[in-house]
Amino acid sequence: MHSKNPECWLVLKRSVRFGDVDAAGVMHFHQLLRWCHESWEESIEIYGIPCLNIFPSNNSQQENPEISLPIVFCQANFRYPIKNGYKLIVRLEPTKVSGSSFELKINFFHTNNLVAVGLIRHIAINSITRERCDLPEEIEKWIEASSIALQPKII
């Protein structure tokens, strides 16, 4: 189902573009949270979970998922200015919080320096009743595989 190398789906690359920065040439604050969500989407796709299995679609021929994963908390911490042209390494660290929630810490590095950290927390709800429910099995497996991949290697 997923790539054997977790570096492919837990470590991503981004380039800061002109449209990502303000008039001072520094990344505008809202971009970081957008990038956090986009990195999560990219990670699950590379892992092997089609985004249409997780996110609603406006396509009338595509059935929407039974479980929604709304964000209930987010934060962004800029440690250094992120400038136009920077090449960033994005490292994802998913953690299961409960049977119905998880959070995702996203670390942004430039030239081996941690320049920003984002955090998003999701809960699982039934798309129709809007009641809390268990996380989708695919997301459970992604989190579990991520936690195994992130464990320090003992040599």
Contact criterion met (CB below 8 Å) for 108 and 88: yes
Q: Which of 7, 22, 63, 144 is catalytic?
A: 22
* Rounded distance between C-alpha atoms, residue 133 and residue 125, angstroms: 5
Bridge partner residues of 135 (DSSP): none
22 is annotated as an active-site residue: yes
Distances (CA, A) of 27 to 58, 79, 81, 114: 30, 12, 7, 15
* Catalytic machinery residues: 22
